[in-house]
Amino acid sequence: MKLEQNEKPLLFSETTIPDIFFAEHLSELPGDYLKIYLYLIFLSKYGKDIKLTDLSKKLNIPLKVINDGLKFLEEHELVIKKTTGYIIVDLQEATLHHLYTPNLTMSKEKVQKTAKNQFRAKAIEHINNMYFQGIMGPSWYNDIDIWFNKYGFDEQVMIALFDYCYNRSAMHRNYVQTVAEAWASNKIKTWNDLDQYYAKQENLNKYKKTIAKKLGKHGGLTQYEDAYIENWVLNFGYDMNIIEIALKRTTYKQNPTFEYINKIITDWHERNLKTPEEVNAFIEQRKVQEKNTKELKSKVQKANYEQRNYDNLDFLYANSVKKED
């Protein structure tokens, strides 16, 4: 593909990318999508048309990935689709607009309150220095302020949120917000709340490993089996003492499934059985009931058998009387 010269020959020309791209967007772009974006910026200087098939061949990227990449760039507001092609978004102008527009609705009181919140300011500065090497993008400041107000996190929890995402190499906005929503749904607001949540999660993981081992699932549990255990522990409030009783009952059944175990445990929960003693008492009661039922059934069958024999004798007696007559 032949390119026209700009003000400088191609050998000496430069393609400029604003720093805001590296601070705000780079971590969110998969490798192939980044290649597409950078090449579009390069081509946009020359105002040249390029077919998607040519773009695919030039970058050695499948056509489907090219289409998916353009859609991704559009959704993340890096390009704007037009009938004739695409326009590269001016990231500096877009970021300024994003930061300025929400502040139009902020009251003077709110701005003053935010400015006076030294603890929050220190927490944000710590996040900037610790996880962004001191060059955190401007929109992150706005997002952190929104998350503080939306989720009610204290400063320690907000720092822990970024620490959690950073340690998982997932420092992009969508992931951070997803984790924040998960913590908020578990009613985490303070460091003590988070500490208790971690303790529960650690305990839950131990339960999962123990249950998988006892059931011989050496390849690990499926997502659905994990969900069953989380329901037993987090929603029903059962510990391993009760779950162990249910697991032992699988020895009476060939090829027991998690659905079978879940049915047993759910039945106990619906009967409001909360302790191992209550569960064992219920099981013993059921054994007595089943024994009594079997005995009663046996007696009824015996009575019916005797009654049939009696009826047969009456029938034979009636026939013998008729013969004598």
CATH number for the domain harbouring residue 55: 1.10.10.10
Q: Which domain holds residue 132?
A: 110-189
Measure Cα distances from 202 to 161, 261, 262 in Å: 17, 23, 22
Verify that 213 and 184 share a domain, yes or no.
no
Residue that is last in its domain, among 189, 213, 247:
189
Percent of the chain with pLDDT over 90: 32
Examine the domain organization and report whether 179 and 201 are in the same domain. Answer: no
In this prediction, residue 3 has a pLDDT band, given cuts at 50, 70 and 90, of very low
**270, 293, 309 - which closes a domain:** 270
Please check whether residue 103 lies inside any domain of the structure: no
Of 169, 189, 209, which closes a domain? 189
202-207 long-range contacts, Cβ below 8 Å, gap at least 24? 203/233, 204/229, 204/230, 204/233, 204/234, 207/233, 207/239, 207/240, 207/243
Our count of domains for the chain comes to 4
Q: Quick one: 41 and 88 in the same domain?
A: yes
Q: Both 174 and 114 in a single domain? A: yes
Please compute the mean of the pLDDT values over residues 114-121 and round it to a whole number.
Answer: 68
By percentage, how much of the chain surpasses pLDDT 70? 82
Taking 60 as the threshold, does the pLDDT of residue 108 lie above it? no
Rg (CA), the chain: 35
pLDDT at 19: 77
Residue 98 lies in a domain: no
Residue 55 Cα distances to 5, 37, 78, 100, 308, angstroms = 20, 11, 18, 36, 91
Q: Is residue 12 part of a domain?
A: no
- Beta-strand pair 79-82/85-88: antiparallel
Tell me, yes or no, whether 153 lies in a domain: yes
Q: Do 242 and 296 share a structural domain?
A: no
Q: What per-residue confidence (pLDDT) applies to 206? A: 92
Statement to judge: residues 231 and 201 lie in one domain = yes
Q: Cβ distance 155 to 123 under 8 Å?
A: yes
In CATH, what number is assigned to the domain containing residue 173?
1.10.10
In a domain, 5, yes or no: no
User: Residue 50 falls within a domain, yes or no?
Assistant: yes
Give residue 81's pLDDT.
84
Q: Is residue 247 domain-shared with residue 288, that is, in the same domain?
A: no
Whether residue 119 is found in the same domain as residue 139: yes
> What confidence score (pLDDT) does residue 317 get?
54
Answer whether residue 6 is part of any domain. no
Q: For the whole model, what pTM was predicted?
A: 0.53
- Give the model's pLDDT for residue 104: 39
Is 79 strand, coil or helix? strand
Do 226 and 241 belong to one domain?
Answer: yes
Reported as a pLDDT band with limits 50, 70 and 90, residue 244 is very high
Q: Residue 194 pLDDT more than 80?
A: yes
Lowest mean pLDDT among 30-39, 157-166, 264-273: 30-39
Least confident segment among 107-121, 146-160, 182-196, 307-321: 307-321
Does the pLDDT value for residue 321 go beyond 70?
no
The pLDDT score that the predictor gives to residue 307 is 62
Please check whether residues 208 and 177 belong to one and the same domain. Answer: no
pLDDT in tens, 48-67: 777 888 888 888 899 999 99
Round to whole Å and give the CA distance between 128 and 257.
Answer: 49
* pLDDT given at position 272: 94
Residue 305 lies in a domain: yes
d(CA 27, CA 169): 9
Mark whether 37 and 88 lie in a shared domain. yes
